[in-house]
Every structure is written in structure tokens, then in C-alpha cells.
Amino acid sequence: MDLQSFEKIVKNENTAKKFLLHFCWKNHQRFCPKCRSRRIYTLQGGRRRCGRCAYTFHDFSQRFINNGNITCQQWLRLIKLFELEVPTGRMAEQLSVSYNTAYKSVTTLRMAILAHSLDASLIIRSIEGLGFGKSGKFHLDVSSKVGGRMPVFGIVERGPHVFADLIPELDEDNIVHFKMNFHLKTASLGKIIYTDQFKQYSALLVGGSRLSATYNIKHADKGLFIDSSKGFWSYSKEWFRRLKGISPRNFPLYIKELEFRYNHRTQDIFPILAKYLCDLVPDFED
Ligand SMILES: [Zn+2]
């Protein structure tokens, strides 16, 4: 979306809300976000109550957008800045909110992207602290200080698309084991360690700060399979170099953001991000 069209939708809080609401409610038809019943009573203050399960809700209840406490105008500005890959600190300045608020909102957007990926359910169930609650709220503290087991992702390229699949049976120690005992080549890129071809994957990726600190091993092999990949890898290199702190919880969010950006690189991602943000938070526990 170009800036002229963008300015029209962020003109005021009403225009911004109207733009977001059309992603939430097709043809303005409200239904209960819990049981999907259309038997709805209107209450005061824009709230509604379900005639079947008695759940009381507002227009954004149970949706990603209900996480992070910012206005509709701020959400749209945040999506625009995210589209342009503005770092979180600069977003906070531009939106006149605290760093923490900007961080939580941008994490919400990344959670929405992750939830729309093919292996979302596996990731949500495997990574501690990334779960979604029944209320549609989730943990937003995925800072780089959080510990745990660093997940490993395998890269599969299929024509113009790339899939970064979580491989739940592997962790960073396995990568070291493969390197030491089976001569799997490894190299580093910013805070990321990547490997040579492994089974059906053109590379394995793992967050590497602890990997380099714990084991006194250099990850500087040459001629890895993915180094010759023109598509995804040349796109990703700069992106990985910019990543700062990586934790077991935020690594999947970054990987899924990259997968999303790459697979939508020829599209306008602004309306896609707005739609993702307005979708209901899925219940992966069922
Ligand atoms: Zn209901």
C-alpha cells in the first residue's frame, strides 16, 4: 500500500477502525467468537453478549489485535513501519509509545504471522512460553534473556517458495554432534549458525550465541550447499546480519517472519498483515 492510500485510512481513529473491522467481520455480520452463534445481544459501550453461551465480547475480542494496548491508528502505523522493516526502537519513537509497548505490539504481529504458517501448531506445542491462552491472549515476554532449548529449523526450497520447518527432535547440541562426529559443515551469519545440506533440508538453522560460547568451535566452513542458493539465501543474509538478541522463544518468531517476507516478496504485505492481525487467535490445544 502506497503512502497516499495509507494516509486515507489513518486519517482518524474512525477510518482506521473501519479498515480493521472489515477484516474482522465479513459483511459486518457479528458472531460469537467462542461458539460462533449468531444469536447476539447488543450491550452498552459497543459490547455484545452471546445468546447461546453468554460470552461477552467486543469487536476485537479473541483476536491477535486485542494483544498490546494501542489504538487502531497506531496499529496501522506499526504495520506500515513493520512492512518497511523499521527497528523496534525507531518504531517506538515514531509512534510516541514506550519501547516496551512497541515491542509487545510487534511481537503480537510476529505471533500472528507464526500462527498462519504451516507448522504453527507444532511450534506452539513444542516451544515453551509461546502458547496461546483460552482468552486469545499470549505471553509477550519473548526477550533475548529467556533461556531454554534452542530450536532448530530446516530449510526447504520449492520453486519460488521456502519453508522453514521446526525439527522438534533436534537441538543445538545435535548440531555440534553432527559437526564433530559426522563432519557436517557449519558457518555463521550474525547470531545464526547454519549447516550444510542435511537430509531433505538445504540447511539447518539454529540461534548460535550460546553454541559458540559453550563449545570452543569455529563455525567458519566454506562452500556450504545453501551458499550457492540464489533465491532465499541471498535474500536472507542481510536480514540475519541485522538480528540482535536471539532466544529460544523469539527465534521461531524471526524465522517465521523471514519465511513470510520471502514467500510474499512480490506482494503488498500491508493488507495481509492487517488481516492476520484481525484473525481470531487459534486454539492449538484442541
Ligand atoms: Zn457463544
- Centre of ligand 1 from the C-alpha of residue 52, in Å: 5
Mean pLDDT of the chain: 91
What is the CA 16 to chain-centroid distance, rounded?
23
What does each C-alpha distance from 209 to 37, 85, 169, 174, 269 come to in angstroms?
49, 23, 20, 15, 31
Contact 277, 271 (CB under 8 A): no
Q: How far does the centroid of ligand 1 lie from the alpha carbon of residue 210, in Å?
A: 47
Cell digits of residue 172: 543445538
Q: How far is the CA of 247 from the centre of ligand 1 (A)?
A: 38
- Cα distance between residue 243 and residue 254, in whole Å: 8
For residue 250, the CA-to-ligand 1 centroid distance in Å is 33
pLDDT digits (tens, 9 = 90+) for 123-171: 988 888 787 777 777 776 666 666 678 899 999 999 899 999 999 999 8
Neighbours of ion ligand 1 (CB under 5 A): 32, 34-35, 37, 50, 52-53, 55
Is the pLDDT assigned to residue 210 strictly greater than 90?
no
> How high is the pLDDT of residue 130?
80
Position 211 scores a pLDDT of 62
User: What pLDDT score does 142 carry?
Assistant: 65
Pair 208, 192: CB distance under 8 Å: yes
SS3 category, 96: coil
User: Of 33, 46, 110, which is closest to residue 78 (Cα–Cα)?
Assistant: 110
Number of helical H runs and strand E runs in the chain: 11, 8
Q: 3-state DSSP helix/strand/coil percent for the chain, to nearest 5?
A: 45, 15, 40
Residue 18: count other Cβ atoms within 10 Å of its Cβ. 12
- Give the max Cα distance, the chain: 67
At residue 212, the pLDDT reads 61
What distance in angstroms lies between residue 286's CA and the mean position of ligand 1's atoms?
A: 18
CA of 36 to the centre of ligand 1 (A): 6
Report the separation in Å between the CA atom of 41 and the middle of ligand 1, taken as the mean of its atom positions: 11
Contacts of 235 (CB under 8 A, 6+ apart): 262, 265
* Range with the largest mean pLDDT of 24-33, 89-98, 223-232: 89-98
Kindly write down the DSSP assignment for every residue of 217-248, as one continuous string: ---B-S--GGGG-SSHHHHHHHHHHH-----T
